[in-house]
Each structure stands twice: as C-alpha cells, then as structure tokens.
Amino acid sequence: MCGICGMVSPGRVDADVLRRMSATLRHRGPDEEGYYTDADVGLASRRLSVIDLTGGKMPITNESGSVWVVQNGEIYNFRTLRRDLESRGHRFTTRSDTEVIVHLYEEYGTSLFEHLRGMFAVALWDRARSLLLLGRDPVGKKPLYYSFDGSTLLFASELKALRQHPQAHFSLDWQAVNHYFSHHYVPEPLSIFREVRKLPPGHWLELQHGNLRVQSYWKLDFEHPFTETDERWYVEQLHERLQHAVRARLVSDVPLGAFLSGGVDSATVVGLMSQSLDSPVKTFSIGFDDETFDELRHARVVARAFGTDHHEEILKPRATDLVERLADQLDEPFGDPSALPTYLVSQVARREVTVALSGDGGDEAFAGYQSHRVHLRDEAFHRRVPGPLGALAVGAVGLGARVSGNTRLRRTAGALRRAHRPLAQRYCNVFDADGRRQLFTRETLAEIGALREHEYFAAHARAQAYPDFLSRILAVDTATYLPGDILVKTDRMSMAHSLEVRCPLLDQELLEFAARIPSHLKLHQGVSKYVFKRVAERFVPHEIVHREKRGFGVPLRAWFRGELRDLVREHLLQNPNGAHSLFNRRTVERLVSEHEAGRWDWSLQLWSLMMFHLWYDRHGTNPRAAGPAPTCDTVQGTARD
C-alpha cells in the first residue's frame, strides 16, 4: 500500500517538484520513498511496506530498465501470475506483487489490467515508446487523480500532491459543487476542480506524444443472470467464493486484523478469517455514548463467538479536535458523517496492525440497504398510480403537510414525490433541486447552470439491458455510491493513519458471481441479502445474521443541538469569508434555527455545509476564478476530446 504521483512534461521534469509532490503523500507510505526521473517523466512512490519488506522498493523496472512502474495497492493473485510469467521466460528480482505488473505489460500491453485481481492504482512508463499508462482497479478502491493541459500531465493518489506543481492553477468545477450538495460527494470522473479529473474505476489512461486516451476495461454483467433454480447451488458457490476472497487477503508480511461493526458483513469476514488463521483475529470496533447508534454490544457477540482479540473505543463529539483533523485529510468536500467513526476505528486498529479487513461492499453486491426496498416500493407505487393521478396525490398530501405542519405527512409527501421521479433523480439525498435553488445564491446558480446531476445516474441506469429493477439499482450503486462515497471514506480515513484496508466482499470474481445471482435471491420476501445470509447462518451467530440493518450512523442530530452547536454556528454563520459568498445566508440561518429548535432534522445538510466550508478554508481557491477547461474528460468510459 502506497501513495504514488508523477508527471509527464517533455524536457521540463523538475525532480524537486516531484519530491514536494511525494512529500504530501507521506501518510500513505511512511516506510520509504522512491523516484525515477528522466528528461520527460518523473515517477514517485511513498511505500507502506506490507509484502517483501526489504525487496519491494519502488519504482520497479524490468530486466533492461526500459519499463518502470509504481503502484498503490495490492495484487492478490500475483503469485499465480508470477509462475505463469516465469514459464514464459520473464525473470524476477523481488518477491513483490508490483513486479508482476512490469512483466504483464511486456506480455500483454494495456490488456495487463484484465489479469490483475486486487485493489490498485498503477502508473507505468515505457521509455522506448515514450508512453505513460495509468490504470485503476475495477471497483475503485484506490484513488487516482490526473490533470492534463495539452502538454504536461500530472497524476497522484491525492489532489494535494498535484497542487505542488507550479503549473497547477485550479478553479472550482461548478457541476462538482452541484453534485456534492446533491449527494454529499463528488463522483467520477469529476473532481472539485475543473482542471483535474479522477480516472474512473475499471479504466486505463494512455498518454503518448501528447495524445491522451481513456478506455474502460471492465464492467459488471447484470444482463445474464444464472438460470440455475436450486437455491442450494447458489449458497454453495457463494460460500466457496467468500472463503477464497478472504484467504487471498490474508497474505501479509506484517500484522493484520479486521474492522468489526456488529453487522452481518463484517461478522462473516471475521468468521472466515478465524477459520483460516491459527491465532485469534484482532478485531476493532467503535461505539457511541448514544445507545441508539451504539453497535458495540453486537460486535462483542461476534468477538466472543470467534474468540477474537477484541479492541474498542467510544467516539465522543470532540468538535475542535476530531472534526478539524477529519477535514485536514480530505482534498475534496466529503459529506458522509460516517467518516468520523471510520477515522477513529482506523486509528485504533493502527496501534496493533498494519492491515485490516473490512466488510465494505456487501450491501451493494447483495441488496442490503434500506434504500433498495424503498426504491422497489416506490417503483411499485409508480406502476399502480401512474401519471396525472399520482401527481394529484402528491399535490394533495403536500398541501396537507404545508397546512398542518404534520411531520408524517411531510414524509409521505416526500415519498410520493420520489416515487414519481425517474430513478436517477431519487439519488439526491442531501438537497434536492428545489433545496439547492434556495441554498445557492443567484450568482452561484448562474455559474452552475442547469442542475443536471441526475444525468450522471441516468447514464449508469441505461448502461445495460437489466433483467429487472433491482439489478438496475445495484448496478447504479456499485458504479456511483460505492466508489464515490464508501471507498473514498475507507481509503482516506485509513490512509490518514497509514493503515491498509482490504475488502474481500469486493473481490472481483465474487462481484461477477453476485451480479448474476437472480434478484429474488438477493431481496427475498422482504429479507435483504438473502443468499448471503444463508451462507452466514452456517457460522455467524443467528442474532447477528438476522438483526435489523444498521448503517455506520453518527448521532449528528443530537450533537448539532448540543456539543457541536457552536462549531456549526462558527463555520456556517459567523465567518463572513471563504465560501460564504456561494450560499444564501437566509437559507442557511433557517436550516440552523429549525434544526436547533427541533422542528426538522437538517443534520446531514448542516454537516455537508460545514464540511464544505472546512474544505474550502484549507484547500479552496477563488470561487469565481476562471481556468481552462480540461483537455480530456471521461464520460461512460470513453474519451471526449
């Protein structure tokens, strides 16, 4: 696990700039640094040593020194790949997983990524062809930003490294701002800056002689579900793949453990780890003083069942400390409050281990979110009450809610409105379009233009001939929310503590199998993750398998009316500088006052606003500054010049 960065700038590579870029990534790789430079290219790596501690220093080259590579991540099938490559005549000088990438490129060119199983962001320089190749893992576990002005290309694991280059003059991307206040994250390929893009998951980028090309190499296939009708077959096949995914992630030359939330996903991972390891698994959990959100008692049930070496800590709202530290780690605005416990559980785990396994990905693969049931219910309502009749019902309930102020009616009206929107528009979970029109100033709305964030989700919803509505939802979640929110949170918060996190439920072969499981075995008679739970029942305590789904929630509503009240007011109302010119002050004041008075729960909206202000104070730029549009953007896996 590492941080990588570099540049292609013909005749103008500055080694000192490259070192400054690398220095910003030290938290991602504190063990050693490495560089390769020539007249046209510079590659840098900050390494967190996990495999081949003494011999795996990067950059790594081939026998002739003509191909160089740096990598952020882990390749889990590297031993199998190495044996095959050695049989083809390739010679290895290390035990590192990164070295297989060099020889795969020699053998397969840009098709090399189709052979890798793991989490990775890769940069490879072919000196003989003057070609830079960047690649990102299929799901997007590891980040990769790039900026290209037609001459110089910069890339890095985090935005802060790009900003060390003297040519890096960045301006706000207004559509990214719009997306953020709709979804509380900035989705690929956008970044918060117009001049920077994220390489989308499952894509590679090639730059040669000033010509830049971005290409997709992988996508999940939901179009061809299995026709097997025996439920037992799915349970057996899934169990086998889960075992393989966990075992593959136990390869390490340093201590490893697991996050344990008390849910079925992390419990299943811990259980499978316990079956494969000779010593007790080290497990780590976070809880709250507020029992409504506290999961520790459930985590303890799992820890006792598998005899783990368990560690836990209580998260308290230390506003001026923890929230500020959280903001320091984020290069882009990020409004998911579960980053707080993720930050702290990573801190706790790093005291004992260098690698931790997590249960991320189970909900997207097997339909575990409450929203999946809500979407199906909304769709059923939409089919039963179509067109004008549905619009009449929405209007009637909405009028009743406004007249009476009844909270239940307001929620019902919201559900009815959602049901009559296209699927893509239902993903606006922070401020809907009307809310953003009230939030932004007229000047900001003019910069943004049309509020078209739903088109991003619509493109993914149309990407395949989905066999049913649930498959479409899972495909959209896997392509958007998973890499844009869940994996950003896990990567940034763990890397803040130099902790590598591995996600066996996001194993590529496991995901490919799960995508083809018929939907009625994922959401079965109201039971979410049905087939997954059938496997978990074999070894996970029954009360954990069948307990109600709980997210990694944070008691923000109470905190914002109590311990964090002053912090909210300080950043949203009292500071007249920074990003305040983007927002309508009267709207912000209304949100704060209604929340404090208990008239409405605006905690997610206030948190998203506060995190934007904290980000802007640290990393923002003149919001009205104009920068050149990016030379190459990526839309649906193709290049747009």
| pLDDT tens per residue, range 366-383 | 999 888 888 787 777 666
- Give the pLDDT score at 192: 96
- Give the pLDDT score at 85: 96
pLDDT at 391 over 70: no
Which band of pLDDT confidence, cut at 50, 70 and 90, is reported for residue 291?
A: low
Q: What is the mean pLDDT of residues 291-296?
A: 71
CATH number listed for the domain at residues 2-173+192-218: 3.60.20.10
Q: When comparing pLDDT for 522 and 560, which is higher?
A: 522
Q: What is the mean pLDDT of residues 446-473?
A: 86
Q: What are the residue boundaries of the structural domains of the chain, listed by start?
A: 2-173+192-218, 231-367+473-545, 555-623
Q: How far is CA 571 from the centre of its chain?
A: 26
Least confident of 119-133, 257-271, 319-333: 319-333
* 632 classed as catalytic: no
Residue 536 · residue 264 · CB < 8 Å: yes
Give the chain's length. Answer: 641
pLDDT at 397 over 80: no
- Give the pLDDT score at 73: 94
Residue 613 · residue 607 · CB < 8 Å: no
pLDDT in tens, 405-418: 555 545 555 555 55
pLDDT in tens, 466-506: 999 999 999 999 999 999 999 999 999 999 999 999 999 99
pLDDT at 586 over 70: yes
pLDDT at 402 over 60: no
* 259 beta partners: 284
Which band of pLDDT confidence, cut at 50, 70 and 90, is reported for residue 386?
A: low
* 315 beta partners: 288
* 122 beta partners: 71, 135
pLDDT in tens, 67-93: 999 999 999 999 999 999 999 999 999
Least confident of 66-70, 160-164, 167-171, 290-294: 290-294
Across 174-255, where does the E strand assignment appear?
197-198, 203-208, 211-216
Q: Per the structure block, which two tokens stand in for 130?
A: 């003057």
Q: Which amino acid is at 297?
A: R
* Strand 197-198, strand 256-259: pairing: unpaired
- Between the alpha carbon of residue 576 and those of residues 171, 397, 585, the distances in Å are 21, 39, 10
SS3 44: strand
Q: What is the mean pLDDT of residues 308-331?
A: 81
- Give the pLDDT score at 626: 43
pLDDT at 287 over 90: no
Q: What is the dihedral of CA 610, 614, 620, 624, to 10 degrees?
A: 30
pLDDT in tens, 4-47: 999 999 888 999 999 999 999 999 999 999 999 998 999 999 99
Q: What is the mean pLDDT of residues 201-206?
A: 98
* Strand 118-126, strand 131-136: pairing: antiparallel
pLDDT at 284 over 80: yes
**Residue 620 host element (H or E):** none
Q: What is the mean pLDDT of residues 443-458?
A: 86
Residue 344 · residue 491 · CB < 8 Å: no
- Give the pLDDT score at 421: 59
Which residue among 2, 5, 428, 503 is the active-site one?
2
| Distance, CA of 148 to CA of 162 (rounded, Å) | 11
- Give the pLDDT score at 558: 83
pLDDT at 398 over 90: no
Residue 322 · residue 569 · CB < 8 Å: no
- Give the pLDDT score at 156: 98
- Give the pLDDT score at 236: 98
| Distance, CA of 134 to CA of 142 (rounded, Å) | 12
Least confident of 31-40, 149-158, 420-429, 502-511: 420-429
pLDDT at 2 over 90: no
pLDDT at 99 over 70: yes
Residue 124 · residue 106 · CB < 8 Å: no
| Distance, CA of 500 to CA of 494 (rounded, Å) | 7
- Give the pLDDT score at 629: 43
Q: What is the dihedral of CA 331, 336, 340, 343, to 10 degrees?
A: -50
pLDDT at 289 over 90: no
Establish whether domains 2-173+192-218 and 231-367+473-545 are of one fold: no
| Distance, CA of 459 to CA of 635 (rounded, Å) | 9
H-assigned helices in 249-386:
264-276, 296-306, 324-328, 339-350, 362-366, 370-384
Tell me the average pLDDT of the chain: 88
pLDDT at 115 over 90: yes
CATH number for the 231-367+473-545 domain, one of 3.40.50.150, 3.60.90.10, 2.60.15.10, 3.40.50.620? 3.40.50.620
Most confident residue range from 259-263, 452-456, 498-502: 498-502
**SS3 labels along 120-177:** EEEEEEECCCCEEEEEECCCCCCCCEEEECCCCEEEECCHHHHCCCCCCCCCECHHHH
| Distance, CA of 434 to CA of 432 (rounded, Å) | 6
